[in-house]
Each structure stands twice: as C-alpha cells, then as structure tokens.
Amino acid sequence: MSIGYGRQSKGPGRSVTDVWSGMSRKTLAAKNLEVLGMGWTQEQSINFECAREVINDLMAIYTTKIYAEKGKAIPDSELINSLLAERSRLHQERSALDADDDVAVAAVRTKYNPIVRSLREEHREEWSKLV
C-alpha cells in the first residue's frame, strides 16, 4: 500500500493522498513508519545507528590491518585469515542488529566502543601514513 503517494483508492472518490493531505510531514512520516512496522523512538534510532557505526569502524580497522599485512614482504596469512573471518562475523552481527532490541544495541556499543578507541589510538601514527 502506498502511503501518501499516488491515487490508491480509500473509498468512493477518495485517495490516500486525499485522506492524508492535511497531515504534517512529521505526522505522515510517523504513519509511514507505523505501516512499515518501524515504530522505534528517536533515541532508539540514534543508538542503533551508533551501534552500526562502531561495527563499521571496527570493520574498517580490520580492513586496514589486512591491507597493511598484505603489503609486508612476508605477510602472515594466518593473521590475514583471522582478520577476514572477524570482519565477516562483524558484518553478520551488524546485519542481524535490530533497532527494537535495546539490550543488543547497548551491548554492541559497550563491547566495541573501547576496542575501536584503543585501536585508533594505538595505530594513529602508523595509519595516518596510509591515507
């Protein structure tokens, strides 16, 4: 069902656009989210995006480490495979994350934020040369 767009019938001579034409953009957006089953709050949305972003950061750090290791004269293939596996696992964890699951979202942020901060600080000088 198209919400707020098109001319889908909502009864004799009425369209979705006619029914909702008096609604503010904010109200219309909220109705769209309700129809799509996305009723999370703004705080949940922000926390969810932060959790996804910390996973993205960690995946990028692992990608950088993989790149650096592959550039060595004798790359450590075991380390590379380990980093690739961990990056793949993080991708799956990010894909499975649900904005409605406050506990899981908080757990991701609690677990990965300190790791990302530590790795960034530890490798700041080294990685700045790669850019």
- Residue 47 — left, alpha, or beta (φ > 0 → left; ψ -120 to 50 → alpha)? alpha
Q: Contact 112/54 with Cβ under 8 angstroms?
A: yes
Per-residue model confidence as pLDDT tens digits over 42-79: 899 999 999 999 999 999 999 989 999 999 999 999 99
Question: For residue 15, what are the β-bridge partners?
Answer: 9
Q: Which domain holds residue 118?
A: 42-128
Q: Identify the pLDDT of residue 126.
A: 75
Residues 17 and 51 both lie in one domain: no
Residues 35 and 60 both lie in one domain: no
Residues 27 and 59 both lie in one domain: no
Q: Which residue has the higher pLDDT, 32 or 113?
A: 113
Please tell me the pTM assigned to this model. 0.67
Q: What are phi and psi of 111, to 5 degrees?
A: -75, -45
Residues 63 and 27 both lie in one domain: no
Q: How far apart are CA 2 and CA 9, in angstroms?
A: 10
SS (H, E, C) 12-67: CCCEHHHHHCCCCHHHHHHHHHHHHCCCCCHHHHHHHHHHHHHHHHHHHHHHHHHH
Token digits of residue 40: 């999370």
Q: Has residue 113 got a pLDDT over 60? A: yes
How would residue 120 be classed by pLDDT, with cut points 50, 70 and 90?
A: confident
Residues 25 and 57 both lie in one domain: no
